[in-house]
Amino acid sequence: MILNYEHKLLTEWIELNHSKYAEGYFEKGEGSGYINYSWKPELITPFIKGIIEKCVLEKGARILDFGCAKGFYVKILQNMGYDAIGIDVSEYALSKSPEDLRNRLFLLKDSPLELFEPNYFNLIISKDVLEHVPEFALRYLIRELKRISKKLFLTVPFCDENRKYINRGDEFDKTHQIRYTLSEWLELLDNVVVEPGLCKLIKHDKSKGTLCCFLNNDEFV
């Protein structure tokens, strides 16, 4: 298969920047807001269940967590009876994932989205990921995620007119590349269904500065 030129450019960018997503990023707050990024099912399980309820997915449905980090969403989804996998750019994060998940978690450079057939996944979840990618890759990733999924759920932080994040805590993450206003995100994503209830489940007081949405298509319930 001939891979998209955009994927090749993105892979080159990842190679240049992968060290930013190592131990310091996930455990020590270096360039991020994370300290000891760890398993907290009591916090994330209600959010995952909320998404599943919205999608009305049957057990065994294929789900991708795009930007899976240590694979905690994949673990919950597997425990719930879904055929879940994860893709990320961080070799460190995947190396620290639960050992029983390691065969279900993949590096983006090794598992490009072009390899998947259209509508392959019943659901893709991509939480707080797209703001990290370079501008040249943003539309490519959105296009590919839409192509290979029947349902796509995204969360991204958005900015005010001065390009400052509404949630000031998002300013601490030095790996954030994309600073779009809410209206710019909505225009880019097109036909979104905004989910403020799901946003409050996972973002709590940060929900006011976060867009949580499904990308709408004929497959949606």
pLDDT, tens digit (0-9, with 9 covering 90-100), for 167-207: 998 998 999 999 999 999 999 998 899 999 999 999 998 99
Distance CA 64, CA 87 (A): 7
CATH fit for domain 5-215, picks 3.30.450.20, 3.40.50.150, 3.40.50.261, 3.60.70.12: 3.40.50.150
Closest CA to 127 of 61, 166, 50, 69: 69
pLDDT at 112 exceeding the cut of 80: yes
Is pLDDT of 219 > 60?
A: no
- Position 7 scores a pLDDT of 86
152 pLDDT higher than 80: yes
Percent of the chain's residues with pLDDT above 90: 85
Q: Is the pTM of this model over 0.85?
A: yes
Q: What is the largest CA-CA distance in the chain?
A: 45
Angle (CA) 182 186 192, round 5°: 130
Q: Which of 47, 34, 104, 28 is nearest to 71 (CA)?
A: 104
Q: How does pLDDT run across 64-110, given as a tens digit for each residue?
A: 999 999 999 999 999 999 999 999 999 999 999 999 999 999 999 99
Higher pLDDT, 68 or 35: 68
Is residue 2's pLDDT more than 60?
A: no
Q: What band does 6 get if pLDDT is binned at 50, 70 and 90?
A: confident
CA dist., res. 71 & res. 77, Å (int):
10
Q: What is the pLDDT of residue 174?
A: 92
Helix 72-79 with 41-55: angle, nearest 10 deg: 60
The position carrying tokens 């294929």 is 62
Position 3 scores a pLDDT of 63
